[in-house]
Copies of this chain bind each other. A is one copy, B any other.
């Protein structure tokens, strides 16, 4: 799995180690294949794997994966951080419904004018991997808020 090899190389580059817990968490991210909280990743490992690990290890590993840009991280409408594999998905934006909290994925091409404008007017480099947009989804909108 090239993702694990990449991770291993990144770790070695800083004198860090590829432990079984880190492998397990990376595998869980592949299996979940969607935005997941640290708690959800933890639960998934508890159920699907014989390996045991601690929730604090999950947090520490996710932080590490984030610094290597292996995972991207957004905050849902409930304020929790949610993670997903960065390279596993085409670049996309998350549409987070402020009522039901569900997350939808939208393409990024229509954002190009905005990205250019942010760069030209503010020197700001928009991070597409961490982009989440609040609003109302179709159902909640129809339900009248």
Majority secondary structure of chain A interface residues (helix, strand, loop or mixed): mixed
Contact A135 B118 (CB under 8 A): yes
Contact A136 B125 (CB under 8 A): yes
Contact of A118 among B116, B130, B133 (CB under 8 A): B133
Closest chain-B Cβ to A66's Cβ sits at a distance in Å of 10
Contact B141 A136 (CB under 8 A): no
Tell yes or no: A14 within 8 A of B by CB: no
Contact B141 A123 (CB under 8 A): yes
> Chain A: how many interface residues by the 8 Å CB criterion?
34
A81 to B134, CA, bound (A): 14
Contact B106 A124 (CB under 8 A): yes
Of all chain B residues, the one with the shortest Cβ separation from A113 is B110
Tell yes or no: A131 within 8 A of B by CB: yes
Of all chain B residues, the one with the shortest Cβ separation from A121 is B106
Contact A106 B111 (CB under 8 A): no
Tell yes or no: A75 within 8 A of B by CB: yes
Contact B133 A131 (CB under 8 A): yes
Contact A130 B134 (CB under 8 A): yes
List 12 A-B residue pairs with CB atoms under 8 Å apart, sorted by A's residue number.
A93-B114, A95-B124, A95-B126, A97-B124, A104-B122, A111-B111, A111-B113, A111-B114, A112-B113, A122-B137, A125-B135, A131-B133
